[in-house]
Amino acid sequence: MALVPCQVLRAAILLSYCSILCNYKAIDMPAHQTYGGSWKFLTFIDLVIQAVFFGICVLTDLSSLLTRGNDSQEQQRQLKKLISLRDWMMAVLAFPVGVFVVTMFWSIYIYDRELVYPKLLDNFIPAWLNHGMHTTVLPFVLIEMRTTHHQYPSRSCGLAAVCTFAVGYILWVCWIHHVTGVWVYPLLEHLSPGVKIIFFAAVTIIINVFYLVGEVLNNYIWDTQK
């Protein structure tokens, strides 16, 4: 796909995430006023990750256009750093976390929405915003993977980074419960301590699997295995 259409596409996706974030933050929900605010929800963290990632993509596209035909080694070096950061974010955060949020949310929602997205939230969050947070993330990240080849880090480094993120968020959720006495997600209220440990371990494994899926899919699309 040509560079200019990709630029326009990424810019449009970035603007959509900015709109979603602004509309979400404008909602006056009681949960936003409690300890941790919006940052206790993985959905919000993922939205920020996606917005930052596509912001870097747009910045990379602009830098590539500005340095085209320029023989400055310093500018080329800075562009390579930007591309490396873009690829790392795609591999470690944007794809695995985005796919995890979409699949886990809708799987639990279909089973029993009260465990993850109580019906009460319909009074605060319109349907289009819910889909903006929990649905469009997947096609957006797949479009990015299809339009641009991303260089993945070594598998050990990539998995270590994903595990660090997963464990860090789990510890954050546990800390919030320690401070407030309330679990971020209603689902956790119904699990015994032993089952919680198994659940957290399973979540960490799943997000690592999504990292591997992203790596395989990237290689398949761009035929880097040959």
Q: Which residues contact 188 (CB under 8 A, 6 or more apart)?
A: 173, 177, 196, 199
Residue 87 domain-assigned (yes or no): yes
Rounded to whole angstroms, the Cα distance separating 171 from 75 reads 40
Indicate whether 170 belongs to any domain: yes
pTM of the model: 0.92
More confident residue, 22 or 75: 22
Q: Which amino acid is at 138?
A: L
Does any domain span residue 27? yes
Let me know if residue 216 belongs to a domain: yes
How far, in Å, CA of 97 to CA of 102, rounded? 9
The domain tally of the chain equals 1
The two structure tokens encoding residue 155: 């598998």
The answer as to whether 1 is a domain residue is no
> Tens digits of per-residue pLDDT, 102-153?
999 999 999 999 888 889 888 889 999 999 999 999 999 999 999 999 999 9
Q: Are 210 and 100 in contact (CB under 8 A)?
A: yes
Q: Domain limits at 160?
A: 6-224
State the pLDDT at residue 86.
Answer: 96
Token digits of residue 179: 């401070």
